């Protein structure tokens, strides 16, 4: 699955301008970048445009100019339904708040993307168990999210994000709500996944977290600059 040379994820002249009363806000100024496989950290002050960038890369928001290419597919040229299917097949997400489905157990949450992808029940259950085991939560399989600690829930969210082996993993402050030890465990999962050749884009306020990435994008007032 790895493609050591060449990028899977590319932003071309990508920008987002939001209307703001009579005025406009340039949340993201035109930005071109080929994300290499591995982990890219996105840092910058609050309100600088980090989530705007991630939402565009995910296809959750429409760019004002430019496009997002994933392995040659123009994300925003797809229909709404086509984009949802495409996202399901190619992306994993981890957010600050784990966004687990409250009425499903830990195991069922991990199975969920596999169910949507039409993976047969036996196979998806087996894979979900292996993933939960991988994040150290085999013993919590039947717990509901409300019965998990914040860090456990976040590890379930990472297992879910990796369940269908996505090429692109997008994370917005995934360790923001966790103590440093639990945060480190979640980060290990993400860096491990980057080492396997995935394209991981990780928003963080934490310098120590950014230091673990292969490279860093700095965002300031909507302007993105790459360093290293």
Ligand X SMILES: Nc1ncnc2c1ncn2[C@@H]1O[C@H](COP(=O)(O)OP(=O)(O)OP(=O)(O)O)[C@@H](O)[C@H]1O
Interface ranges with ligand X (CB under 6 A)? 18, 20, 25, 27, 44, 46-52
The smaller minimum CB distance to ligand X, of residues 18 and 101, is found at 18
Under rule CB under 5 A, which residues in 88-107 are in contact with Mg ion? none
User: How far apart are CB 55 and ligand X at their closest, in Å?
Assistant: 8
User: How far apart are CB 96 and ligand X at their closest, in Å?
Assistant: 9
User: Apex CA 43: angle with CA 132 and CA 218, to 5°?
Assistant: 135
Residue 209 contacts residue 181 (beta carbons within 8 Å) = no
Confirm or reject binding of residue 175 to Mg ion (CB under 5 A).
Answer: no
Alpha-carbon distance of 6 to 70, in angstroms, equals: 11
User: How far apart are CB 50 and Mg ion at their closest, in Å?
Assistant: 5
Residue 69 contacts residue 9 (beta carbons within 8 Å) = yes
Strand partners, 17: 26
The smaller minimum CB distance to ligand X, of residues 176 and 192, is found at 176
* Four-point Cα dihedral 131, 5, 58, 180, nearest 10: 50
User: How far apart are CB 125 and Mg ion at their closest, in Å?
Assistant: 35
Under rule CB under 5 A, which residues in 47-66 are in contact with Mg ion? 51
């Amino acid at each position: 699955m790895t493609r050591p040379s060449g990028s899977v994820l590319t932003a071309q002249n990508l920008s987002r301008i939001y209307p703001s009363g009579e005025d406009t806000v340039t949340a993201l100024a035109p930005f071109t970048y080929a994300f290499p496989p591995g982990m890219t950290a996105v840092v910058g002050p609050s309100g600088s445009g980090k989530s705007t960038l991630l939402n565009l890369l995910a296809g959750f928001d429409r760019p004002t100019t430019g496009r997002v290419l994933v392995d040659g597919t123009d994300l925003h040229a797809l229909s709404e339904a086509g984009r949802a299917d495409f996202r399901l097949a190619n992306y994993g997400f981890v957010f600050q708040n784990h966004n687990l489905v409250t009425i499903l157990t830990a195991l069922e949450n991990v199975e969920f993307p596999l169910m949507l992808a039409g993976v047969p029940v036996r196979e998806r259950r087996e894979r979900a168990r292996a993933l939960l085991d991988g994040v150290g939560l085999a013993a919590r399989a039947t717990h509901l999210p409300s019965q998990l600690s914040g860090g456990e829930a976040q590890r379930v969210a990472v297992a879910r994000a990796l369940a269908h082996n996505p090429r692109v993993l997008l994370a917005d402050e995934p360790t923001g709500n966790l103590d440093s030890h639990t945060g480190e465990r979640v980060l290990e999962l993400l860096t491990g996944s980057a080492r396997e050749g995935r394209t991981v884009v990780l928003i963080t306020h934490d310098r120590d977290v950014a230091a673990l990435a292969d490279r860093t994008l700095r965002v300031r007032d909507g302007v993105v600059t790459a360093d290293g």
